Amino acid sequence: MSLRSAALVASATMATLAFGLAAPGQAAEHPAGGAAVKANPTLREVADRTGRFIGTAINDGRLGDATYANIAKTEFSSVTAENAMKWGSVEPNRGQFNWAAADRLVSFAQSNNQKVYGHTLVWHSQMPNWLANGSFSNAELRTIMTDHVTTQVSRYKGKVQRWDVVNEAFNEDGSLRQSKFQQQLGESYIADAFRAARAADPGAKLFINDYNTEGTGAKSNGLYNLVQRLKSQGVPIDGVGFQSHLIVNQVPSTVKANLQRFADLGLEIVVSELDIRMATPADSTKLQQQAANYKTVAQTCLAISRCAGITVWGFGDRDSWVPGTFPGQGAANLYDNNYQPKPAYTAFRDGLAGS
Q: Annotated catalytic sites, by residue?
A: 168, 273
- Cα separation, 323 vs 353, whole angstroms: 31
The beta strands (E) that lie in 138-218 are given as: 162-167, 205-210
| Residue 320 burial by Cβ neighbours in a 10 Å radius (0-12, 13-18, 19+) | buried
Q: Phi first, then psi: what are they for 7, rounded to 5°?
A: -65, -40
- Across 59-161, the runs of DSSP E, i.e. the strands, are 78-81, 115-123
Instruction: Say how far apart CA 321 and CA 331 lie, in whole Å.
Output: 10
Closest CA to 346 of 1, 16, 2: 16
What is d(CA 101, CA 219) in angstroms, rounded to the nearest whole number?
33
Question: Pairing mode, if any, of strands 268-279 and 329-330?
Answer: antiparallel
End-to-end CA separation in angstroms for the chain: 24
Separation of alpha carbons 227 and 248, rounded Å: 29
Dihedral sign, Cα of residue 17, residue 23, residue 27, residue 32: positive
Q: How many CB atoms lie within 10 A of CB 65?
A: 15
